[in-house]
Structure 1
Amino acid sequence: MQQGTRRHRLLVGLSVALILVVALSGPNAAKPDLRSGWPLDGLLPFTLSSALVTGLLWVAYAVAAVAMALALWRPVPALGRRTPWVLGGLGLLAVLAAPIGSADHVNYAAYGRILWLGGDPWTASPADFAGGSDPITSAVEEPWRTEPSVYGPLASLIQAGAAAIGGTHLRLVVLAWQVVVVAAWLLVRWCLRRLVDEENAGRVDVLWTLNPLVFAVGVLGAHVDVLAIALVLTACVGVGRSAGPAWSLVAGGLVAAATSVKFTYAVALLALLLAGRGVRRALWLLAGWGAVLVVLHLWTGGHVYDQVGRSRRAVSLATPWRLLLEWSRTSSVEVSTMRSIITVAAGVAMIGLAVLIWRATRPLGGREPSERQGSLGLARRAAWITLVLTAAYGLLAPYTLPWYDLVAWGLLPLVVPSVLDGILLARLTLIAAAYVPGRVIGMTPGVEALTLGLRREVTPWLQLGLWVVAVTLLLHTTHRRGRISDDDGPDGWGHPPAPRRRAR
């Protein structure tokens, strides 16, 4: 093993170990009490203070960023024969550890419980259900106690299945959901290995499997986004098998399933349509997508997205857009007007950034599917377009949280190494650190002031700086691409391209 690879994996191991100390200890500021009294609430026989939890996670994320930076600059081989042991060990630990980084998994349990008992999670809030006395829904924490579900029909069905398994035992409900998330995490890796060649297999393990930030935020966080990205990539695998009607129909249905987990993943349908290969294929994709959505919404009704519509103008604390919103509170501009301005400005900026990312990156095998690549090239192109759109959204969205970046990291291994790798690494590190420890309760006043100060006063400016750096790097790369043939090789980090030869 090369020295760089050894250092990378030692740092990955250190980062994951620090994160697991938080995840396997007792209930703390990063993980709510799941009310079971089981050993599964904390396999390590101690409870960490909110200050220690915060410090450990900040150090773990910093170490992870260094480890990832080393791997981005030097190619790292795939896991090889160690794969079953690594995947099995990490997956088992992820299930045994109570989720960290937020209390969203308790929300999932509550919405599933409401649906399982015959309620409507899209209109009934956890605080209102069963008079507030239900053993599962009463565990939901602020600020989500009075909020109905924002998740789609399929996510809610799976959450209801977890509720059926766990019954009145919150830890069991969460455990059943964790199994789904870990299975989805493994499915993402399986899909990626179907879509990349052996030469680039190492990127799958560096960017997804052994990425401590993805593991902490997505898998240990037990977020629904891991399931959605697994469905999107499964759709890409289907397209990669054949561009014929049957697989196009299946791919459309799988994207509909992802949309029915979280509405924003409908962007994958647009990517599949833009990837090419004719009108008939597009019609089959739309037929598969529409059929699944019609079936699900005949059952649930169209009101499942009402909550998404109500929250469309929200602005989270750690984004640069928040600076504008706070400024409007002390100016003559109405806050509601500023929210509208931010929504429009963000949309326009996303389009511009997506164009820059599109011009500065390319999928494995080239921008256009060749005859030799066949359907595989089509699948890679669809994944690339999805990455372009979701990366621009993640970087510039007014309301954004760490797990919103997971879709980009799930697709990044299918793209040639470029400056986008480093941009997304900086973005995920900043946003993950900003939301440590991850809950709004369970902290001492000093820790709350420190972490909230980082989130509100520091991170927006750091992200603003990242925007400037990102645009500069993407413009520079785009300028170089104008002088370099697309067939000369990667034009970002890794292997530099050869200069184009002049005709004599």
Structure 2
Amino acid sequence: MPSNPPLSPSENPVAAGRPGIGPRILDLTRRALGLDRPSPRADVSVVLHGDETEGRGLDPVETTQLHRIRLFGATGAVLMAIGALGAGAQPVLQNPVQGVRGLGLAARMPSAALTVTMTGIVLVVLAWLLLGRFAIGRRDPDGQPRRLTRSQLDRTLLLWIVPLVVAPPMFSKDVYSYLAQSEIAARGLDPYAIGPAGALGVDHVLTRTVPNIWRDTSAPYGPAFLWLGEKIAALTGENIVAGIFVHRLLALVGVALIVWALPRLARRCGVASVSALWLGAANPLLLFHLVAGVHNEALMLGLMLTGVELALRGVYGDTPDGRAYRNRATAWIAAGTALIALSAMIKLPSLLALGFVGMALARRRGGGVRAVVTTAVMLGIGAVLVIGVVSWGSGLGLGWTQTLGTATEVRSWMSIPTLLGMGTGLGGVLLGLGDHTTAVLSITRPIAAVVAAFITVRMLLATLTGRIHPVGALGVSLGAIVLLFPVVQPWYLLWAVISLAAWATRPIFRIPTIAFSSVVSVILMPNGGEYQPFIIVQAAIATIAVVGLLIVATRNILPWRGEERAPARPPETADA
């Protein structure tokens, strides 16, 4: 048989100089993982980040406006605290205001209590938005920004937090689960094997206040948090009010750590510290859900961010203000590793921060495979030691590894894969095809997990190659994990928002984040549950009317219009 004629150069990819299938696959893989050299316009660090300067102080007129904004927000926080006496997430038993003349009136007037609380919520959100003009900064004719000072922002934040510290819990009843699970641990039982109803009894004072969905559910939190909760239970016993107060103090410790670490991380990334604090620490989501809602994310995020800052001191050999710590690099890295591992023993996702610290350290050591492996082993050993000490030192062992999926029992519309599954299931019902939501979720959730893992790996490699700062890469990865997680609660968004606040400065990040934070803060009910529709409608109409009147009344004393102008005289930095 005649042999086949040889291929022409145009038909032969090798002869034509085109790569074969193997090189093409390798090239696509490199592009997917970000190991190629893409256009600078497509680089995530260019899209989201731009350097900022601290800027000048506010001029006298702006300082006066700042003082009024501070009082406006504080008024809202006080209204929230008052309204929460009737509209908050009050305990079923041991309600301290029930039957008390005057204070107990709010519980018997749900529409009025909800109106007062919602009005306060809107005032705090509006005050935060107004404050943002002075935190993001206005520019003088020479292009230099004018921002409020750090001390001005700290005092504003403190004034807004204080009323929420003494208020009843709001927006969530999770703190009652904390109390019940801590009591289980204090009794020597395993909170990872048995829920409040089984361990304490259905009629126990702490079980009665736990939402029904969680009464038979084991604890989904890490052993460090339950260990602390066990000590709180030993201190407060079955006193619900005292237990809430101590847990809130624990949350405030976490908030203080966030306020300490966030501006330092921002300066490392070339971001103005006050703009990072405004978007991260003064965010209404933090005020409402970590302080008022008493969520343990406060302690988790505080420990994680503090650990990242300490570890980066060892990686880069200095602090954001330029002080050298090269001789103590190992100690700083060890301390940061310990704090990050400890934060993971509150909630596991924060352990991700250790990966980005490790990649930054591996890059400083040359960036090769050997540097990555040795760094991973070193940090891994440190993390395992901390996790082991906490797990066995608390007496709870590794039971927490069996309850990591507990939260997925809830279907949250804020989760992208869950929303797709629920929407598809609803479409099937409307078309008469039956409810296949569970089946669709079994597809969308694994796909979302793969996508989140891919984004995380890409950010790790981008950190290793120096294309993105580790703080920014951590924020992007946490954002992907949160949005693609099977269940998303409003306060979960803070995992990404606070981290990205220290790095991302572009409008493409800040504008959606500001809008979403504002909307989510306003639409959630303060009792951690649901109201009858007519009560919500009445309260919403009254809130709109009251807030509208307040805006009209303050139109000449608050910068609602936000016109840009040059200062009449050189700006002053005197604190308000």
**TM-score between both structures, scaled by the size of structure 1:** 0.74
Which consecutive unaligned segments of at least 5 residues does structure 2 have? 1-57, 138-145, 316-328, 366-370, 540-576
Partner residue, 1:248? 333
**How much has 1:292 moved relative to structure 2?**
1.1
Structure 1 residues 297-316: aligned runs within 5 Å: 297-298=391-392, 299-312=395-408, 314-316=410-412
**How much has 1:308 moved relative to structure 2?**
2.3
RMSD: 3.8
What is the distance in 2 between the residues matched to 1:31 and 1:430? 21
1:326 to 426, 429, 435: 426
Aligned partner of residue 488 in structure 2, secondary structure: coil
What is the distance in 1 between the residues matched to 2:308 and 2:483? 24
Partner residue, 1:237? 309
What is the distance in 2 between the residues matched to 1:156 and 1:43? 37
What is the distance in 1 between the residues matched to 2:80 and 2:125? 18
Q: Is the 8 A contact 1:50 1:444 kept in 2?
A: no
Q: Is the 8 A contact 1:217 1:403 kept in 2?
A: yes
Instruction: Evaluate the alpha carbon distance shift between residue 281 and residue 10 of structure 1 in structure 2; reply closer, same or farther with a 3 A threshold.
Output: farther
Q: Structure 1 residue 427 and structure 2 residue 516: aligned?
A: yes
Partner residue, 2:292? 220
> Residues 116-140 of structure 1, C-alpha deviation per residue, up to 9 Å, x if partnerless?
1212111221122232233323321
**How much has 1:199 moved relative to structure 2?**
7.0
Specify the structure having the higher radius of gyration (Cα): 2
Partner residue, 1:485? none
**How much has 1:345 moved relative to structure 2?**
3.5
Which of 1 and 2 has higher RCO (CA within 8 Å, sep 6+)? 2
Aligned partner of residue 445 in structure 2, secondary structure: helix
Partner residue, 1:98? 168
Aligned partner of residue 425 in structure 1, secondary structure: helix
**How much has 1:434 moved relative to structure 2?**
4.1
What is the distance in 2 between the residues matched to 1:65 and 1:357? 33
Structure 1 residues 101-250: aligned runs within 5 Å: 101-197=171-267, 200-243=272-315, 244-250=329-335
1:394 to 469, 477, 482: 482
Q: Structure 1 residue 341 and structure 2 residue 437: aligned?
A: no
**How much has 1:172 moved relative to structure 2?**
0.4
Structure 1 residues 470-485: aligned runs within 5 Å: none
Q: Is the 8 A contact 2:428 2:434 kept in 1?
A: yes
What is the distance in 2 between the residues matched to 1:268 and 1:30? 34
Partner residue, 1:259? 344
Instruction: Evaluate the alpha carbon distance shift between residue 14 and residue 42 of structure 1 in structure 2; reply closer, same or farther with a 3 A threshold.
Output: farther
What is the distance in 1 between the residues matched to 2:451 and 2:515? 19
Structure 1 residues 19-34: aligned runs within 5 Å: 19-25=77-83, 27-33=85-91
What is the distance in 1 between the residues matched to 2:152 and 2:100? 28
Q: Is the 8 A contact 2:184 2:200 kept in 1?
A: no
**How much has 1:56 moved relative to structure 2?**
4.9
What is the distance in 2 between the residues matched to 1:167 and 1:326? 46
| Aligned residue identity for 1:257 | L
Relative to structure 2, which stretch is displaced further, 33-42 or 287-296? 33-42
Aligned partner of residue 346 in structure 2, secondary structure: coil
Partner residue, 2:357? 272
Partner residue, 1:376? none
Aligned partner of residue 308 in structure 1, secondary structure: coil
Q: Is the 8 A contact 2:83 2:117 kept in 1?
A: no
> Residues 312-365 of structure 1, C-alpha deviation per residue, up to 9 Å, x if partnerless?
475314553332343355536733321112203423554687799999xx99xx
**How much has 1:150 moved relative to structure 2?**
0.7
| Aligned residue identity for 1:47 | A
Instruction: Evaluate the alpha carbon distance shift between residue 338 and residue 26 of structure 1 in structure 2; reply closer, same or farther with a 3 A threshold.
Output: closer
What is the distance in 2 between the residues matched to 1:406 and 1:111? 24
| Aligned residue identity for 2:339 | L
What is the distance in 1 between the residues matched to 2:425 and 2:397? 34
Aligned partner of residue 350 in structure 2, secondary structure: helix
**How much has 1:248 moved relative to structure 2?**
2.1
| Aligned residue identity for 2:295 | H
Instruction: Evaluate the alpha carbon distance shift between residue 66 and residue 354 of structure 1 in structure 2; reply closer, same or farther with a 3 A threshold.
Output: farther
Relative to structure 2, which stretch is displaced further, 329-338 or 240-249? 329-338
Instruction: Evaluate the alpha carbon distance shift between residue 401 and residue 50 of structure 1 in structure 2; reply closer, same or farther with a 3 A threshold.
Output: farther
What is the distance in 2 between the residues matched to 1:106 and 1:119? 18
> Residues 85-118 of structure 1, C-alpha deviation per residue, up to 9 Å, x if partnerless?
5455445433322221111111111111111121
2:501 to 391, 406, 413: 413
| Aligned residue identity for 2:209 | A
**How much has 1:203 moved relative to structure 2?**
1.4
Instruction: Evaluate the alpha carbon distance shift between residue 427 and residue 316 of structure 1 in structure 2; reply closer, same or farther with a 3 A threshold.
Output: same
What is the distance in 1 between the residues matched to 2:150 and 2:100? 32
Identity over aligned pairs, percent = 19
What is the distance in 2 between the residues matched to 1:15 and 1:143? 35
Instruction: Evaluate the alpha carbon distance shift between residue 26 and residue 218 of structure 1 in structure 2; reply closer, same or farther with a 3 A threshold.
Output: closer
Aligned residues: 435
Relative to structure 2, which stretch is displaced further, 7-16 or 160-169? 7-16
| Aligned residue identity for 1:388 | V
**How much has 1:216 moved relative to structure 2?**
1.2
Instruction: Evaluate the alpha carbon distance shift between residue 65 and residue 41 of structure 1 in structure 2; reply closer, same or farther with a 3 A threshold.
Output: farther
What is the distance in 1 between the residues matched to 2:100 and 2:160? 16
Q: Is the 8 A contact 1:110 1:126 kept in 2?
A: yes
Partner residue, 1:47? 106
What is the distance in 2 between the residues matched to 1:179 and 1:43? 28
Instruction: Evaluate the alpha carbon distance shift between residue 15 and residue 349 of structure 1 in structure 2; reply closer, same or farther with a 3 A threshold.
Output: farther
What is the distance in 1 between the residues matched to 2:445 and 2:485? 9
What is the distance in 2 between the residues matched to 1:416 and 1:9? 28
**How much has 1:433 moved relative to structure 2?**
3.6
Relative to structure 2, which stretch is displaced further, 69-78 or 392-401? 69-78
| Aligned residue identity for 1:273 | G
Partner residue, 1:455? none
Relative to structure 2, which stretch is displaced further, 50-59 or 228-237? 50-59
Q: Is the 8 A contact 2:169 2:294 kept in 1?
A: yes
Aligned partner of residue 300 in structure 1, secondary structure: coil
What is the distance in 2 between the residues matched to 1:61 and 1:93? 12
What is the distance in 2 between the residues matched to 1:221 and 1:368? 38
What is the distance in 2 between the residues matched to 1:7 and 1:58? 24
| Aligned residue identity for 2:495 | V
> Residues 347-395 of structure 1, C-alpha deviation per residue, up to 9 Å, x if partnerless?
3554687799999xx99xxx949xxxxxxxxxx9332221111122333
Instruction: Evaluate the alpha carbon distance shift between residue 128 and residue 351 of structure 1 in structure 2; reply closer, same or farther with a 3 A threshold.
Output: closer
Partner residue, 1:492? none
Q: Structure 1 residue 295 and structure 2 residue 353: aligned?
A: no
Aligned partner of residue 187 in structure 1, secondary structure: helix
What is the distance in 2 between the residues matched to 1:170 and 1:23? 18
What is the distance in 1 between the residues matched to 2:120 and 2:459? 29
